[in-house]
Amino acid sequence: MRKLRLLRLLLAAFSFLGLTVSLLDFTGTAGDYLGWLAQIQFVPAVLSLSLWTVLAILAATFLFGRVYCSTVCPLGICQDLVGFVRRLFGFRFPSSPLPGAVKTVHDVVRVGLLVVFVCGGFLGLHYGWLEPYGIYSRAAQTLLGPLWGMGNNALAEWAARSGSSAFVAVETVAPPVCVMAVSAGTLALLAAMALWRGRVWCNTVCPVGTVLGQVARVSLTKPKIDAAKCVMCGLCARACKAHCIDVEKGKIDLTRCVACFDCGAVCGKGALTWSN
Ligand code: SF4
Ligand code: SF4
Ligand code: SF4
């Protein structure tokens, strides 16, 4: 699975950086080339009735599991960045899966939030506080946008002194404090949850994750543990950001697996494979 993991990392880096730059670039140039990354986000595609995009995401999930969550969604990739920092400091997740009662509570919460999200959408209530792309785009534009503008203006000043017009100064307007506070608070909560339990936001809060999880339950290809080769070392479970591997039972909860391929990459016995 190492090659699949490398491919996942490359796709995630491209979509995350491309989307972020297209959100911040006020010239519109990046948007011309990379604006499609915003159009392939699940909820915006549903709201714009982009049937083919929605079907493509559902088909990819049916074929390969929640690859959307590991390669396309910027909020999921943010959580992986936090997890990367956690690993840098040598912290691994526990090798045991979520206890049954905790898992049941998570399931009730995630279905409840999905119902609230869908009903809220039909009633015309603001849904942005739960919608992954909305959360990320708001945070990028309100928190990184002013920094991006200041960086541009510093370059414009430097270019002007050198007699170049490669950069043009723009007026930077700070977003309202309350919007910045909401964005920063949401990101802080997300980061704290990711530090604590990896993709717990994705598997408890996010309505898109709940929908895709149900499709992934019957996905054609999935991670599998070969009991004949497994020595129950628990390395895969400690590497799993979704806490969905039960080594003792040799089972993987496909509704929570975000198709990151990290587990197979750490299994030195070749016991964890991605197959049908
Ligand atoms: S579960 Fe939601 S927040 Fe997490 S990666 Fe998937 S779409 Fe994004
Ligand atoms: S890392 Fe491999 S050998 Fe170790 S518990 Fe997981 S599947 Fe079994
Ligand atoms: S079981 Fe866990 S580590 Fe393996 S692909 Fe799924 S989420 Fe990643």
- The answer to the question of residue 155 being in a domain is no
- The answer to the question of residue 151 being in a domain is no
Distance CA 65, CA 55 (A): 14
Q: What are the two backbone dihedrals, phi and then psi, of residue 273, each rounded to the nearest 5 degrees?
A: -125, 165
Ligand 2 atom closest to the CA of 225, numbered from 1: 7
Q: Taking the CA of residue 124 as centre, how many other CA atoms within 13 Å lie in the half-sphere pointing to its CB?
A: 0
Range 175-203 average pLDDT? 91
pLDDT at 6 over 90: yes
- The answer to the question of residue 44 being in a domain is yes
**Ligand 2 site, residue 245, Cβ cutoff 6 A:** no
- The answer to the question of residue 147 being in a domain is no
- The answer to the question of residue 10 being in a domain is yes
pLDDT for position 156: 86
User: What angle is formed at CA 197 by the lines to CA 196 and CA 200, rounded to 5 degrees?
Assistant: 125
Pairing of strands 272-275, 222-225: antiparallel
Ligand nearest to the backbone CA of 257: 3
- The answer to the question of residue 197 being in a domain is yes
pTM, entire model: 0.92
**Ligand 2 site, residue 224, Cβ cutoff 6 A:** no
- The answer to the question of residue 168 being in a domain is no
DSSP at 143: I
Mean of all residue pLDDT scores within the chain:
91
Distance CA 124, CA 70 (A): 30
Name the residue of 232, 245, 251 whose CB sits within 8 Å of the most ligand 2 atoms, as the mutation to test its pocket: 232
DSSP string covering 4-16: HHHHHHHHHHHHH
Ligand 1 center–CA 170 separation, angstroms: 34
* Structural domain boundaries enclosing 134: 2-138+175-275
C-alpha distances out from residue 77 to 8, 16, 60, 156, Å: 11, 7, 18, 32
Ligand nearest to the backbone CA of 16: 1
User: Residue holding tokens 């949850």?
Assistant: 193
**What pLDDT band is residue 101 in, cutting at 50, 70 and 90?**
confident
The total number of structural domains that make up the chain: 1
- The answer to the question of residue 75 being in a domain is yes
DSSP at 131: -
**What pLDDT band is residue 126 in, cutting at 50, 70 and 90?**
low
Question: Who's near 52: CB < 8 A, 6+ residues apart?
Answer: none
pLDDT at 115 over 80: yes
Q: Is 222 helix (H, G, I), strand (E, B) or coil?
A: strand
Of the candidate ranges 71-85, 108-122, 233-247, the one whose mean pLDDT is the lowest: 108-122
Ligand 1 atom closest to the CA of 66, numbered from 1: 6
Quick one: which of 239, 246, 235, 233 has its CA closest to 261?
239
DSSP string covering 244-256: -EETTTTEE-TTT
